[in-house]
Structure 1
């Protein structure tokens, strides 16, 4: 609107007019039209406008009456629109407030959709390589299958592949899970291999199992040696446990056989598997400060002493020591091939047992003599029985000594000679003192015949029993043989009393009861000249003849 028009409106409406008229084209056209009117037209213009206004008012009223329903509906519609516009305005305000959040959500959605899209691409790629992935996922199952079928070589290669795969992709969780499952199967394989070492195995199988254990790299070299000996020791102990203990002879014989065979096999296997040239003391001291040979020989030492303990225990009830001795000596000799000859450790055990057996039998003979001697004392002295006249106590003692000497002759180590002589000396001295006691108690009651019989009893003891037992000792322990072993002469043996009974001390208690006569010659020359004519096996026959006479 021009300035003139604006000024005109100010003149027409001094009280002011709506500001929107400045932009209303109709108002501008009407003002332009007023400018073309004459005074008369301008004078009539208010009346005209008033008439037009009345006419329009009438038309409006008529229109309102005619279309009042429409107006009502329009008003209601307007009101509703107004309300809706208010709601829309509120919603728009809320929308404006939420638009920043919406933008942030859109960005998050965009990022997530990108990730989803990447995952979708990854899944698509996974689907295309399903076969290869399935092979990887089945690796633990394949490992278990190899172990169940004892395909340990394949299991070792598969485990190495899985570890290499994990080391290449340590950030992938599935590889970590597969490695854990394979490690569990790895321990199962270790248990199976060690269980096989506790069973009967040939050398090639042992080599194979230990080779697998080495490749597993679970044990150091020293630990592997120790574990091998522990497992093989379990097998040896299980074999020994199966031997019945009802019969001592059978138990000891089988123990010797099983220990010899299995221990020799274990030593052979150990030396074939663990090469001390490559893993000898120098290398072990340098690498681990451990002498691996100590492990091996300490174990062998323990096994030998366990065997010696069993031997010493079972020898108490063995009937044939010479048979056991032969087997044990062969056992010890066979182990000399592997540098473990332990025969010298068995000698004290056998000599001790032989000496104890002989001493025990001697004590038993003395007890029997004492028993028979007491029976004789209880007899009526005026009627001496035939048993006393035939010297039955001496015959019983002589028979038991014969059995003991015959048994000793089968296995007579020189180391027991002093014990044997001491046992015989003590038993004969006991008989001599018993005869003296008998004479002291019963001499007043003796008749002439009884006294003569008692004198002959003492003479039989001194002239027959003692010399004959001395001859038996020298048959079992020839003085020349004993002297050569000890590195002395025979005269020195006689002076020291080695294999010689001290007849003077034995006869001393009853010497005054014997008639005066020349002592029998039991010098060493006489014994050596006559020993070929004496047979210990004739002892039993002589005693039997004496009993037949009774």
Structure 2
């Protein structure tokens, strides 16, 4: 027994020798309280009643312990087990805290890297937002990517109004989203298809054409212009005339077999004339039987004039129907007033006042028109140059082949057809009957021409044809007026 425990109370010193060595030391506070109660008791009470009281208290405590053990033995056992595991848990906690302390620098660096990479403007979140936006608008993107295929399908089926609307939609998308590579790619493909559509429309103008189709085609071409190359009104008119001229040239080229026969007759006539000229023994003239008299040439010219008359009238009338208004003036200021011109704008450029037989008159028509300046300083309507070109084709063909025909009546018949063609053009403001005066071959044959020079000055052949035509026209007008 520890002596320090007995120093608190003298009574305890007396009892310590009687306490077994294996017994646990009493609690000093409990010992002090018990010794205070003992001191207050009489000796008889201590001797007689105190042992019974202690036995009763011991028995009561034993019952309480038994009852507590019966009720809470599981909790007590669990508490005991937990209590025994507390040191091990504390050791494990210490180890974990040490590991956590050592891992804090690595955790801090990972947190810093995460906040840097996954910030609002970071690469990962930006890519994720783009991917999400792409997934959200996938259907719209697929529709946009299918626009070139849809446009090609519309062009192949000649659905030009819908194709032009679709092309306008693509151009509007490109103007709004010009920084998008996808829109740029779709726009480039559609512009390539637009060139194909323009080529198809131009090929339509170069083929057989009716007025409604021509008006629709010109309307489509007006809408086909791009931002880089906008087709102005003058260019569109010129394109129409060039395409129709190509169609006319194709029709005239179909007459090449007849043209070859006419060329053979012309060459035989020239060769026969050269042989007669080189002969020194006798002076003879070329007989029509030696080169056919121009029969094949008559067939060619007759068919050529028919095609020319029909197509020239059709082209000019179609042009005036499609482009009814004059070209807009390039200068907003009105041109200075000039003397009134009695003819249409077409013939003011053609130069209807032709009276000379010189072959240079046709080439000077445009220069005389420039002197009058009917267009107020700006370039004339392309139709004027087109009519000039048609007249040059007519004069070139007639000047080359008409003199091959020997019979005067046949020539007069062909000249009458030319006057009918001139009358048809005259209803559109392009009468060119006076153009007969500039063709050197009009008039009598070679022999008759020499006789006319030495004889009584017989009038030229074309003058008689024009006079007969005027008489016939006046009679028709009279009959029409009576009807």
Give the TM-score taking structure 1 as reference length.
Answer: 0.45
Deviation readout 1:437-472 (Å, 9 max, x if unpaired): xxxxxxxxxxxxxxxxxxxxxxxxxxxxxxxxx9xx
> Does residue 334 in structure 1 map to residue 424 in structure 2?
yes
Residues 1:289 and 1:146: Cα distance change in structure 2 (over 3 Å): farther
Report the counterpart of residue 266 of structure 1 in structure 2.
Answer: 315
Distance, in Å, in 1 between the alignment partners of 2:134 and 2:428 is 63
8 Å Cα contact 1:140/1:178 also seen in 2:
yes
Report the counterpart of residue 234 of structure 2 in structure 1.
Answer: 222
8 Å Cα contact 1:284/1:290 also seen in 2:
no
How far off its partner does 1:337 sit? Answer: 0.8
Residues 1:228 and 1:168: Cα distance change in structure 2 (over 3 Å): same
How far off its partner does 1:264 sit? Answer: 0.7
2:452 to 421, 441, 448: 421
Structure 1 portions without partners, runs of 5+: 1-91, 360-415, 426-469, 486-550
Report the counterpart of residue 154 of structure 1 in structure 2.
Answer: 162
How far off its partner does 1:141 sit? Answer: 0.9
How far off its partner does 1:179 sit? Answer: 1.2
Deviation readout 1:384-432 (Å, 9 max, x if unpaired): xxxxxxxxxxxxxxxxxxxxxxxxxxxxxxxx6xx53335x5xxxxxxx
How far off its partner does 1:308 sit? Answer: 0.8
Question: 1:128-143, aligned counterparts within 5 Å?
Answer: 128-143=136-151
8 Å Cα contact 1:222/1:292 also seen in 2:
no
1:295 to 359, 382, 402: 382
> Does residue 355 in structure 1 map to residue 444 in structure 2?
yes
Report the counterpart of residue 120 of structure 1 in structure 2.
Answer: 128
Distance, in Å, in 2 between the alignment partners of 1:255 and 1:358 is 27
2:208 to 200, 218, 233: 200
How far off its partner does 1:108 sit? Answer: 5.2
8 Å Cα contact 1:198/1:231 also seen in 2:
yes
Report the counterpart of residue 186 of structure 1 in structure 2.
Answer: 194
Distance, in Å, in 2 between the alignment partners of 1:292 and 1:341 is 22
> Which structure exhibits the higher relative contact order, with contacts defined as CA atoms closer than 8 Å and separated by 6 or more residues?
2
> Does residue 318 in structure 1 map to residue 405 in structure 2?
yes
How far off its partner does 1:118 sit? Answer: 4.0
Residues 1:325 and 1:358: Cα distance change in structure 2 (over 3 Å): farther
Structure 2 portions without partners, runs of 5+: 1-101, 262-295, 334-374, 468-483
How far off its partner does 1:299 sit? Answer: 1.5
Distance, in Å, in 1 between the alignment partners of 2:222 and 2:438 is 43
User: Residue 439 of structure 2: SS of its match in structure 1?
Assistant: helix
Residues 1:276 and 1:113: Cα distance change in structure 2 (over 3 Å): closer
Report the counterpart of residue 29 of structure 1 in structure 2.
Answer: none
Bigger radius of gyration, 1 or 2? 1
User: Residue 338 of structure 1: SS of its match in structure 2?
Assistant: coil
Aligned length: 276
How far off its partner does 1:212 sit? Answer: 0.9
User: Residue 354 of structure 1: SS of its match in structure 2?
Assistant: coil
Report the counterpart of residue 301 of structure 2 in structure 1.
Answer: 252
8 Å Cα contact 2:403/2:445 also seen in 1:
no
Distance, in Å, in 2 between the alignment partners of 1:207 and 1:358 is 52
> Does residue 275 in structure 1 map to residue 313 in structure 2?
no
Distance, in Å, in 1 between the alignment partners of 2:237 and 2:379 is 8
How far off its partner does 1:258 sit? Answer: 0.7
